Amino acid sequence: MVLTGHFIDRDWKLQKRVLSFVHIPPPRKGKDIANCIFKCLKEWDIENKVFSVSVDNATANDSCIQILKDTFSLTKRLLCGGALFHVRCCAHILNIMVQHGLKQVKTIVKNVHDIVDYLNGSEARMRKFAEIVQQFNLRERRLVLECKTRWNSTYDMLSCAIKFKEVFSRLALEDNDYVYCPSSDDWQKIEKLLDILKVFYDTTNVISGSEYPTSNFFLSEVFYIKEMLDKNYCSPDPFVKDMVKNMKERFDKYWGECNLLMAIGGVLDPRLKMKVVEITFPHMFPSNLVRENINKVKDTLYELYDEYKALYPPLEEHHGESRSGAPLVVQGGSLPGMSRVLQVVRSGIRVEPRKSELDVYLEECTTTDEGHRFDALNWWKERASKFVILSILAADVLAIPITTVASEATFSAGSRAIDPYRSSLLPETMQMLICTGDWCRSTFGIKRKNKFVDEDEPKEIMIPIP
């Protein structure tokens, strides 16, 4: 188990650090995982700073989170009663949805896999294939052999293979040993499948990139998935409808209830605010629950803000400010209290209820022309002096990852291989090497690259065309 911490640093940059690398021998029970996590937090002296814990959807993790919630609750450290404490890995949920959809076309996918594997097994076959590619005057130069434990590599394989469908048909006429060619009906199904998988593929790259995004993106991406599912669920094509039906059932199982973290993260995007839930919730929930869930998000956000004001009382807004933000000046510093109040009454100044930072933020109209380049953290950084408490809350919420994996291994069901040399190292030495490597990469801005390709990695095959 690799435990990582996510936080916003003093320069308002999103950071990730490996905190611990622990081997938990099977059977991995929830209490064992919880004990390892809490022990690590104690060692780092950050047990009082934990906002949430993101885990995948294994059953043991559910009991682990419940044990951790009970442990933290003893000292009243959980914000909003722990409503935002447990974060389910979005990448694993997407994986489950896609795998259920792929069951319907597993034979077709296997045929395409066998095509690429067959060609890659002989240099003569690849040359023959390259000759036919030239005859069709195609510019494409690569095939991808999927890793069967990763659906995103399946998408890569199919999206590359469909560009050569005419070449595969010609090869079937010229090579008597070639028996894997999909029919025209199969290619049509693959094309429809790719249209659906493209949405999952795009969402995966957004939420599970090695450079983790801030949490204001999550609700919009899940909404993107929901829109696609609803649209295709009404398709007249029974193939598409049946495939999407399986995916939709899984979506409703995991996201059928209001996800407070995704919603609050979206509200803290100053371009969206409450509009993000007003736009997305009518499509994501039954009509009788839409207003209830919108109010739930708003109430939770206000509750969270009030708790932050209690946590940071020295930073709370000055009570001597007027609605416009300018200090309310009353002449005669030596007058008794009643005289000072009467002076304000006689002056005719309209006294209005003082608004909180959260009220001001939600009511302000924010405009920006930054488009997809918009940086929510930079926006909050520039306004930290105006939203003193709310900016701290925003930094904590925006730092929360909704996935436990990076896109390079989002849907891998296999484990990374450890060679005989590394497997002979002590657990403490392994932890030291992994943590030190991660810290050095973070310190110097070095991106991690895979140094080898094994059976759990998709293989890219270049077609030898001069």
Same domain, 70 and 12: yes
- Region of poorest pLDDT, from 17-26, 213-222, 388-397: 17-26
- Which 3 state secondary structure label does DSSP give 150? coil
- Domain C-terminal end among 398, 431, 452: 398
Instruction: Give every CB contact of residue 370 below 8 A, 6+ residues apart in sequence.
Output: none
pLDDT at 319: 41
Is the same domain home to 268 and 393? yes
For residue 450, being part of any structural domain is answered with no
Residue range 152-175: average pLDDT?
Answer: 91
Amino acid at 448: R
In a domain, 365, yes or no: yes
The dihedral built from the CA positions of residue 426, 427, 429 and 430, taken in this order, carries a sign that is: positive
Is 389 part of a structural domain of the chain?
yes
Tokens of 383: 């306004």
Same domain, 269 and 305: yes
Whether 382 and 265 map to the same domain: the answer is: yes
Q: Is 161 inside a domain boundary?
A: no
168-187 pLDDT tens trace: 999 999 888 888 889 999 99
Share of the chain above pLDDT 90, in %: 43
Q: Strand 53-55 and strand 86-88: pairing?
A: parallel
Q: Is residue 271 a part of any domain in this protein? A: yes
From 380, 398, 416, give the residue that closes a domain. Answer: 398
Number of residues in the chain? 466
3-class DSSP assignment, residue 218? helix
* 280-314 per-position pLDDT tens digit: 999 999 999 999 999 999 999 999 999 999 988 87
Does one domain contain both 313 and 414?
no
The neighbouring-strand residues paired with 8 are 14
Mean pLDDT over each residue of the chain, to the nearest integer: 83
Range of the domain at 63: 2-94+402-444
Q: Evaluate whether residue 364 is within a structural domain.
A: yes
**What is the number of structural domains in the chain?**
2
